[in-house]
Amino acid sequence: MNNNTVILTTLNEAWSAPNSMLDLFLESFHIGEQAEQLLKHVVIIAMDPKAFDRCKSKHSHCYYLITEGVIFSAEKIYMSPDYLKMMWKRLEFLGTVLELGYNFVFTDMDIMWFRSPFPHLSGNAHYMTASDTFNGNSSDLQNWPNNGFVYAKSCEQTIDFYKYWYLSRKLYPGDHEQNVLKNIIADSNFPNFGLQMRFLDTTYFGGFCELRKDLNKLCTMHANCCISMKRKIYDLRIVLDDWKNYTAQPASRN
């Protein structure tokens, strides 16, 4: 974008199959309110060759992130060893993006985009993350972070923070990056590098963990607290149908 911001998401072979997560993700932009124009800023990070080929057949901006010695093509079960490797590889890559001078919005592919989130991503915060549950105070570190949707500015504070976060995986072996984030920010010895962190309101950045139903405000909907790709696809198709019904009835929207 004009301010050097890019929208990033990741994809593997399991999520790239026809009528799977990739198709739902792209469809949400096409049926969202002025969301389709954002697709030109979306870069899909493919984690394996078949995902890369499928991406190129569906989207203009695809990047193949090669990871030697690891196969990321199959569905990765939550908290399995390969799932953890994929999450930490993703975090390392996002830190590199910041070092290259790009701000980014990272979005999991099981997040449906219905409106531009950028009006809610302004302000002085260096790092903004979605929440599984939101207590109403965007500065309260007691909110539970969900790294499926993150906005990060490229600056010294976030670059140092991502390096520290990635290195902290060694302090919490066998845990994923989201729990490690919660642990390190709760640590009184955490050097926050002057980082201004904010949590995003689930009113606008919704999810299945804390379901909000005001479609007049909703920007994104995440299939969090929903295990297995099959279940996510089933539930997200219902979400898309609900959105289509909502947009087909303009008289009910105020």
Express each pLDDT in 217-246 by its tens digit. 999 999 999 988 999 999 999 999 999 999
Provide the pLDDT confidence category of residue 212 given band limits of 50, 70 and 90: confident
Q: Please write the tens of the pLDDT for every residue from 52-81.
A: 999 999 999 999 998 765 555 544 444 456
**Per-residue CA distances from 28 to 72, 114, 190 (Å):** 25, 6, 38
Mean of the pLDDT values across residues 151-176?
A: 93
DSSP E strand stretches across 156-230:
197-199, 205-207, 220-222
Higher pLDDT, 167 or 67: 167
Query: Which structure tokens are listed for 247?
Result: 């947009």
Residue that wins the pLDDT comparison between 71 and 9 = 9
Matching residue, tokens 């007049």: 216
**What single DSSP character describes residue 160?**
H
User: 156 pLDDT exceeds 60?
Assistant: yes
- Cα–Cα distance between 30 and 24 in angstroms, integer? 10
Q: Give the pLDDT band (50/70/90) at residue 117.
A: very high
pLDDT of residue 72: 53
pLDDT at 78: 47
Which of 149, 148, 181, 178 is closest to 165 using CA atoms? 181
pLDDT on residue 33 = 95
Percent of the chain at pLDDT exceeding 70: 92
CATH of domain 5-132+139-248: 3.90.550.10
Q: What are the tokens at 111?
A: 């997040």
The pLDDT of residue 233 is: 96
| Residue 120 clears pLDDT 70, i.e. is over it | yes
Q: Determine the pLDDT at residue 147.
A: 92
- Report domain extents, the chain: 5-132+139-248
Lowest mean pLDDT among 19-28, 67-76, 127-136: 67-76
Q: Which residues contact 27 (CB under 8 A, 6 or more apart)?
A: 240
Instruction: Output the six-digit token pair for 157.
Output: 């504070």
